[in-house]
Amino acid sequence: MSGNPAILISGLTKTFGRVRALDGLDLTVEAGEVHGFLGPNGAGKTTTLRILLGLLRAGSGHAELLGGHPWRDAVELHRRLAYVPGDVVLWPTLSGGEAIDLLGRLRGGLDQRRKKALLELFDLDPTKKGRAYSKGNRQKVALVAALASDVELLLLDEPTAGLDPLMEAAFRECVTEERGNGRTVLLSSHILSEVEALCDRVTIVRDGRAVESGTLAQLRHLTRSSITAELDRIPDGLAELAGVHELAISGSRVRFEVEADRLGGALRLLTDAGVRGLTCQPPTLEELFLRHYQSAS
């Protein structure tokens, strides 16, 4: 997993009339990683993917995909990637199996053995016709078509939105297997737990702009620990200490949240005040994530 990144986007913009869907987006996906592309509805995830697929023209900025230009080199690039749209629509007169074969062939080939295995894993009946499928089953058709193709890069746009928990587990199994095979995956999602379970690195996007990016550990580092302590006396200056938030004092008991890199300073202040009891809740991504979501709305 060396060499050039699979996806390299910097300063990307895209406007639809007066709507600014992307506003200077940066995104780097290294080859071989599973990258979570996380953000609330309307953040610009689908727009980014459609630009990468050459379906939309980029406004300004730079976008590079597998070393090529998403618009100019679209056809050659598409042989090396597979895409699962967020809202799958099938042809009403084609059966699911036909759609899978067709999409695979249009991409340059499909592994029939793998198709059979995936149909079984996802418990999908390929003989139904387009509109006889539920939303989740349409999504499975697109997933099987993508996963059964021999490609380097998978672009998945909220692929589990219609799947039940059992199928979601099957999907996770597949993505883990794909990573094992050295494939790169860009997984757009608005569900944190999914990204936490699957991804090596995460980019959080909001209002068309990346607001955080890094490994899960790095992101956790950005979050706050929550501390509850029983003290001999209440220390001075705790409220003023940089990085301490939402301080609540009741008798000899203090509760507060503290940013990861300020933890040492806060603890020193506590020990000086005589600690009788201490609980420290580790940081969760949930909290970071909600913080970004809330400021989005």
Partner 1 sequence: MTGTFALVRLALRRDRLLLPVWIMVITGAIAGTASAIGELYPGMEQRLALGVTIGSTPALQALTGPVFDATSVGGLTAWRATTLATALAGLMSIMVVTRHTRAEEETGRAELIGACAVGRHAIPAAAVIVAGGANLLIALLLTVALTGQGLPGSGALASGLAVGGTGWVFTGIAVVAAQVTEHARTANGLAISVLGLAYLLRASGDAAGVETLSWLSPLGWAQGVRAFAGERWWVVGPLALTGLILVGLAALLARRRDVGTGLLPPRLGPSDAAPNLASALALAWRLQRGGLLGWMIGFAIGGAMLGSLAQSVGDIVNDNPQLAAILERIGGAGALVDTFLAAVMGLLGLAVGGFAVQATLRLQGEEAGVRAEPVLAAAVPRWRWTLSHLVIALGGTAIVITAGGLTAGLAHGVRTGEVGEQVIRLLGAAWVQVPAAWVSAGIAMLLFGLLPRLTALAWAALVAFALLGQLGELLQLDDWIRSLSPFAHLPQAPGGEVSATPLLWLTAIAMALALAGVAAFQRRDLAGN
Per-residue CA distances from 23 to 53, 69, 210, 216 (Å): 19, 20, 9, 24
In the block, tokens 């301080």 appear at: 247
Nearest distance from residue 190's CB to ligand ADP, in Å? 7
For ligand ADP, which stretch binds (CB under 6 A), given 28-36, 37-45, 234-242, 251-259?
37-45
* Interaction partner, residue 281 (partner 1, ligand ADP, Mg ion, none; CB < 5-8 Å by kind): none
State yes or no: residue 16 binds ligand ADP (CB under 6 A): yes
Count of residues near ligand ADP by CB under 6 A: 11
Q: Are strands 153-157 and 81-84 parallel, antiparallel or unpaired?
A: parallel
The entry of partner 1, ligand ADP, Mg ion, none that residue 217 binds, CB within 5 to 8 Å by partner kind: none
- Between the alpha carbon of residue 38 and those of residues 95, 195, 203, 209, the distances in Å are 33, 8, 6, 11
State which residue, 40 or 67, has the beta carbon closest to ligand ADP: 40
Residue 14 or 78: the one with the smaller Cβ distance to ligand ADP is 14
Cβ proximity to ligand ADP, 184 vs 188, nearer residue: 188
Q: Residue with structure tokens 């998978």?
A: 154
Other CB atoms closer than 10 Å to residue 227's CB: what's the count?
20
- In the bound state with partner 1, the residue whose beta carbon lies nearer, of 120 and 286, is 120
Examine residue 102 and tell whether it contacts partner 1 (CB under 8 A).
yes
Q: Estimate the share of the chain in helix, then strand, then coil, as percent rounded to the nearest 5.
A: 35, 30, 35
Q: Which residues between 24 and 63 bind partner 1 (CB under 8 A)?
A: 46, 50, 53-57
Residue located via tokens 């999907």: 171
Q: Which residue has its beta carbon closest to Mg ion? A: 46
Interface region with ligand ADP, contact rule CB under 6 A, candidates 44-52, 168-176, 251-259, 264-272: 44-52
**44 binds, options partner 1, Mg ion, ligand ADP, none, Cβ within 5 to 8 A by partner type:** ligand ADP
| CA–CA distance, 76 with 82 (Å, rounded to integer) | 12
For ligand ADP, the binding residue among 5, 36, 39, 96 (CB under 6 A) is 39
Q: For residue 261, what is the DSSP state? A: G
- Binding window for partner 1 (CB under 8 A); candidates: 93-101, 165-173, 210-218, 243-251: 93-101
Distance of CA 251 to the CA centre of its chain: 43
CB 292, CB 274: distance < 8 Å: no
* Cα-Cα-Cα-Cα dihedral sign, residues 39, 41, 43, 49: positive
The rounded distance, in Å, linking the Cα atoms of 283 and 155 is: 30
Pick from 46, 149, 223, 225 the residue near Mg ion by CB under 5 A.
46
Cα dihedral 159, 58, 39, 30 in deg (nearest 10): 70
Q: Which residue has the tokens 């300004």?
A: 60
Angle between helices 112-121 and 165-180 (to 10 degrees): 150
Interface stretch with partner 1, choices 62-70, 94-102, 172-180, 267-275 (CB under 8 A):
94-102
Footprint of ligand ADP (CB under 6 A): 16, 19, 21, 39, 41-47
Footprint of Mg ion (CB under 5 A): 46, 86
Footprint of partner 1 (CB under 8 A): 46, 50, 53-57, 74-76, 78-79, 83, 85, 87-103, 105-108, 112, 126-129, 131-132, 142
